[in-house]
């Protein structure tokens, strides 16, 4: 089958296959797209936890992106684990070499078991530099709290945090509500002009590892095939 659309995934490797680049490739492939990759870090992990993280040198991240895009032009880009400020700089520099506005950033910060996947300087850099360069940022509640420096306990708090991120320069923000303790779940998509609320009932499951990666990869795949932002987030 000829793939419909091409998506460049810039993310970390998860040896357990549930999250990271492995989850992204499976998602893009399942949606009929073609996945290219640039690996930013290699994690050794299983369902219990992360046992090691090795960063890929920024120059190597840059080379992966540049070799790929020189030959196969992506229709959209999904960015996941970035790990350090130097890697983010390399990503911005290389992605800026092509004209592409369909970029989705999942601001990955902490693995499900609690291991930090990014340092503080990189978080500040995402806020100050990267966020403005992308179409959509998809934080979960703990990530939105860190980025907006607010506490989120309700749907109202999610909207408030989203508005702060828009004021800080994000074009579109999808705050995922799965961490709220409620039966009704909300994901909230905000831009300067609009707010769209996606509502669903809560599915109780311990198997949530990789859900954020999967969602952002699916949104990037949908965007790459020409769906608009709201339709791409509806899934």
Catalytically annotated residue among 213, 214, 225, 233: 213
Q: What is the dihedral of CA 19, 41, 177, 127, to 10 degrees?
A: -160
State which residue, 166 or 217, has the beta carbon closest to ligand PXL.
Answer: 217
- Given a contact cutoff of 8 angstroms between Cβ atoms, the answer to whether 35 and 24 are in contact is yes
DSSP for 17-59, written as a single string: SSSHHHHHHHHHHHTT-EEEEEEEEEEEE-SS-EEEEEEPPHH
Task: Examine the residue annotation and report whether 115 is marked as an active-site residue of this protein.
Answer: no
Task: Examine the residue annotation and report whether 68 is marked as an active-site residue of this protein.
Answer: no
Question: Which residue pairs, CB below 8 angstroms and at least 24 apart, start in 198-206?
Answer: 198/233, 198/234
Site string for ligand PXL, 90-109 (x = CB under 6 A): ------------------x-
DSSP for 168-228, written as a single string: TT-S-EEEE-TTS-SSEEEEEEE-SS-EEEEEEEPPP-S--TTHHHHHHHHHHHHHHTT--
Pick from 5, 20, 28, 62: which binds ligand PXL (CB under 6 A)? Answer: 20
Candidates 5-13, 95-103, 123-131, 227-235: pick the segment binding ligand PXL (CB under 6 A).
5-13
Q: Which residues contact 219 (CB under 8 A, 6 or more apart)?
A: 78, 104, 136, 138, 174, 232, 233, 235
Task: Examine the residue annotation and report whether 176 is marked as an active-site residue of this protein.
Answer: yes
The verdict on 162 binding ligand PXL (CB under 6 A) reads: no
Task: Examine the residue annotation and report whether 214 is marked as an active-site residue of this protein.
Answer: no
Catalytically annotated residue among 176, 177, 214, 233: 176
* Phi and psi torsions of 222, nearest 5°: -65, -45
The verdict on 81 binding ligand PXL (CB under 6 A) reads: yes
The verdict on 19 binding ligand PXL (CB under 6 A) reads: yes
Pick from 33, 107, 177, 212: which binds ligand PXL (CB under 6 A)? Answer: 212
Q: How far is the CB of 38 from ligand PXL (least distance, A)?
A: 13
Pick from 33, 58, 80, 177: which binds ligand PXL (CB under 6 A)? Answer: 80
Catalytically annotated residue among 29, 115, 150, 208: 208
Site string for ligand PXL, 31-70 (x = CB under 6 A): ------------x-x-------------------------
How many CA atoms are closer than 13 Å to the CA of 28, on its beta-carbon side? Answer: 31
Q: How far is CA 219 from the centre of its chain?
A: 9
Residue ranges that bind ligand PXL, judged by CB under 6 A:
11-14, 19-20, 43, 45, 80-81, 108, 111, 117, 210, 212-213
Positions marked catalytic: 176, 208, 210-213
């Amino acid at each position: 089958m000829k793939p419909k659309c091409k998506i460049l995934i810039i993310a970390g490797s998860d040896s357990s296959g549930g999250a990271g680049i492995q989850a992204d490739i499976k998602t893009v492939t399942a949606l009929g797209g073609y996945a290219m990759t640039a690996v930013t870090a290699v994690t050794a992990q299983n369902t219990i936890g992360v046992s090691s993280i090795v960063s890929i040198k920024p120059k190597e991240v840059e080379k992966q992106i540049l070799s790929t895009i020189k030959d196969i032009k992506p229709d959209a880009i999904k960015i996941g684990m970035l790990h350090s400020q130097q890697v983010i700089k390399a990503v911005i520099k290389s992605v800026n070499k092509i004209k592409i506005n369909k970029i989705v950033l999942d601001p990955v910060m902490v693995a499900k078991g609690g291991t930090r996947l990014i340092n503080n300087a990189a978080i500040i850099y995402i806020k100050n530099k990267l966020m403005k360069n992308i179409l959509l940022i998809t934080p979960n509640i703990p990530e939105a709290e860190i980025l907006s420096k607010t506490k989120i306990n309700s749907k109202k708090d999610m909207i408030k945090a989203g508005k702060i991120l828009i004021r800080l320069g994000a074009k579109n923000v999808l705050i995922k509500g799965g961490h709220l303790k409620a039966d009704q779940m909300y994901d909230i998509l905000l831009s300067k002009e609009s707010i769209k609320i996606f509502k669903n009932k809560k599915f109780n499951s311990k198997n949530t590892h990789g859900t954020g990666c999967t969602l952002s990869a699916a949104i990037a795949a949908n965007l790459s095939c020409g769906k608009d932002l709201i339709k791409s987030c509806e899934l």
